[in-house]
Amino acid sequence: MDQITRAKTLGFSGERLSRIDAHLKRYVDAGKYPMAQFLLARQGQVVHQSVVGQQDPERGVPLAEDTVFRIYSMTKPVASVALMTLVEEGLIALDDPVAKWIPAWSKLGVFEAGIDPFLTRTPARPMQVVDLMRHTSGLTYGFQNRTNVDAAYRKLKLEQMHGGTDLEGMIAQLARLPLEFSPGEAWNYSVSTDVVGYLVQKVSGKPLDEALAERIFRPLKMVDTGFHVREDQRGRFAACYEHVPGGRPKLQDDPQTSPYLAPPSLLSGGGGLVSTAADYMRFANMLVRGGELDGARILAPKTIRLMASNHLPGGQDLTQISRSLFSESTNAGVGFGLGFAVVFDPPKTLIPCSEGEFYWGGMASTAFWVDPVEEVTAVFMTQLIPSSTWPIRRELRTLTYAALTETNG
């Protein structure tokens, strides 16, 4: 069956889907992206794939379907799913105080003033596990460049995966720093999911890489996903670039000398994985099928629904409650669940989408989304930092749904 016939069988116009190829080619030809791969599926069956550009432009290596990418924050949904497998087993609960599992955090204060030493106050309530999952913990990221607290994160190089600190060391350092706000008071993109990864490690009794392999990667046959690039993957590893305003992107990480070629010192549940489009599509298809794929059940359907519901206090969206870089108009109608953003008011987003659609992306412009209503999953891969450089994620949604001719809702 050719691609156009398969697309029609699954409710898509093959001719309209071809617009995606042309759109991505314009980006690559203009030098805006070094490469672009888009994989689209419905009901678990591939509808369309675009593979444009070069995985290593410096050496003229073309992009391939099995190219390995740094997925950065697309690691977060994976770590979150792993924690929910432990919740399902009754080993940890979402309303557990985090200090139950990290006793050194029992006296965390909220920033008032100062630069180490800090003046702090007692939080209005203790941080709970759910606060880590939905980024309402009061933690932050050093790259926010907003406050004295994130400056302290930068000074300690807390987010450096290939430095001298391991996951336990990161948790110990965080015990010395104040929170940005009382847990539950606001949304702030943060190292919260790295702490989720630590909890997975502690509760499962296994290193995070082993826990993810046992609970997710092996059951789902995600053979190319892990915390470093194996020897047999090196020839498929993409170069990563950084946007230069007014110029062509500059090489940010050479695939032949990258720190990703060796295991990291810090196993980051917030941003440490490498993967392929096909591997991540298997993860997305497990989610759209209610937690199961090809006979491997990772989570129960009710657990997936819980994760894909808006958990922001008061039912707010990200434009109302966010204090970080993600407080922007493009997130109107979008809340946050347990590991990913969730659309709860589609008209406010101003793009075609479904209520209950959930998604996230990574720092190098990668992205995925899951639409349970239309049974659509999509994975976009490239390697350009920062992810906010071009509006490709919104454009891909528009192009995809413009090609959907038979809808479920």
Check if the beta carbon of residue 161 is closer than 8 Å to that of residue 173.
no
Q: Could you give the CA distance from residue 131 to residue 129 in angstroms, rounded to a whole number? A: 5
CB atoms within 10 A of CB 145: 10
- DSSP letters of 380-392? EE--EE-TTSS-H
Q: What is the DSSP letter of 12?
A: B
214: buried, middle or exposed (CB in 10 Å: 19+, 13-18, 0-12)?
Answer: middle
* Fold of domain 3-72+223-402: Beta-lactamase (3.40.710)
Domain 82-204 in the same topology as domain 3-72+223-402: yes
Q: What are 339's two structure tokens? A: 């590991």
Q: What pLDDT, on a 0 to 100 scale, did the predictor assign at position 324?
A: 74
> Residue 96: phi, psi to the nearest 5?
-65, 135
Check if the beta carbon of residue 361 is closer than 8 Å to that of residue 368.
yes
Q: Look at residues 126, 130, 127 and name the one whose alpha carbon lies nearest to residue 94.
A: 130
Q: What are 306's two structure tokens? A: 């819980």
- DSSP letters of 105-169? GTT--EEEEESSSEEEE--SS--BHHHHHHT-SS---GGG--SHHHHHHHHHTTT-TTSS--HHH
Query: pLDDT for 312-347, tens place per residue?
Result: 999 999 999 998 765 444 789 999 999 999 999 999
Q: Look at residues 400, 399, 366, 368 and name the one whose alpha carbon lies nearest to residue 381.
A: 366
CATH dotted code for 82-204 = 3.40.710.10
Domain positions in the chain are: 3-72+223-402, 82-204
Q: What pLDDT, on a 0 to 100 scale, did the predictor assign at position 327?
A: 44
For the chain, which residues score pLDDT lower than 70? Answer: 1, 325-329
